Amino acid sequence: SLGAGLTVLIAVALVEGNLARQVAERIPERAPAFFFIDIQPDQVAPFEAAIAELPGAELLQRLPTLRGRLAGIGGVAVAEAKIDPQAEWFTQGERGFTYLAKMPADTELTAGKWWPEDYAGPPLISLGARIAEGIGVGVGERLSFNVLGRRITAEIANLRTIDWSRMRLDFVVIFAPGTLEGAPQVHVASASALPAREEALYKSISQRFPNI
């Protein structure tokens, strides 16, 4: 019994040590202290100014976002498409989308190319590589989405690796400019702060913007 108990304790200590090491290695140097949601378009500028004026705080990311549902895969209704069980979550219910002109730093493309920053043309998307594999699509193929009652069909311009453990704001689907800008939307953001300034950052934002 003593031997078995000691073995369990050693195993727990080893697992804890390995997990702690993995977390320490994966968390970026400046991990977000807070994630902010429901930032209204007219609040973006004052929100960013509020963070900029607070010593020890830094805005890490700020992205527009709106929600939609996958409606079709290459002209086939989602209900009739063959979906890998690990990708089914993407096909069920609404998902968050964003749009970007410039490719985010440290983005790893596995196929295709990012669009030009001044792109103006038919709808294009960047899609997470694992989801693309799970729903059986690749660069050049088309997905249809229902966004606020409007059906949008977009071509897959590139596939990219998404590492959720990096604690970054990311989306499985990123649209190219020119498609979603006119739709009702909100913004999300992340910010870091020195440990001694985290409470001040929280109070500053929550008092000035009660909805965020």
- What is the identity of the amino acid at 145? F
pLDDT in tens, 170-197: 999 999 999 999 999 999 999 999 999 9
pLDDT in tens, 49-99: 999 999 999 999 999 999 999 999 998 999 999 999 999 999 999 999 999
Q: Quote the distance between the C-alpha of residue 135 and its chain's center.
A: 19
Q: Average of pLDDT values for 139-168? A: 94
Confidence of residue 31 (pLDDT cuts 50, 70, 90): confident
At 109, is the secondary structure helix, strand, or coil? Answer: strand
pLDDT at 5 over 80: no
Q: Average of pLDDT values for 106-121? A: 96
Which residues lie across from 146 on neighbouring strands?
Answer: 69, 151
Q: pTM of the full predicted structure?
A: 0.83
pLDDT in tens, 36-49: 999 999 999 999 99
DSSP string, 128-194: EHHHHHHHT--TT-EEEEEETTEEEEEEEEEEE---GGG-----SEEEPTTSSTTS--EEEEEEEE-
Which residues lie across from 121 on neighbouring strands?
Answer: none
Mean pLDDT over all residues of the chain? 91
- Distance (Å, rounded) from C-alpha 155 to C-alpha 140? 6
- Distance (Å, rounded) from C-alpha 61 to C-alpha 48? 10
pLDDT at 135 over 70: yes
What pLDDT sits at residue 64? 97
How many alpha carbons fall within 13 Å on the CB side of residue 139? 11
Confidence of residue 29 (pLDDT cuts 50, 70, 90): low
What pLDDT sits at residue 2? 77
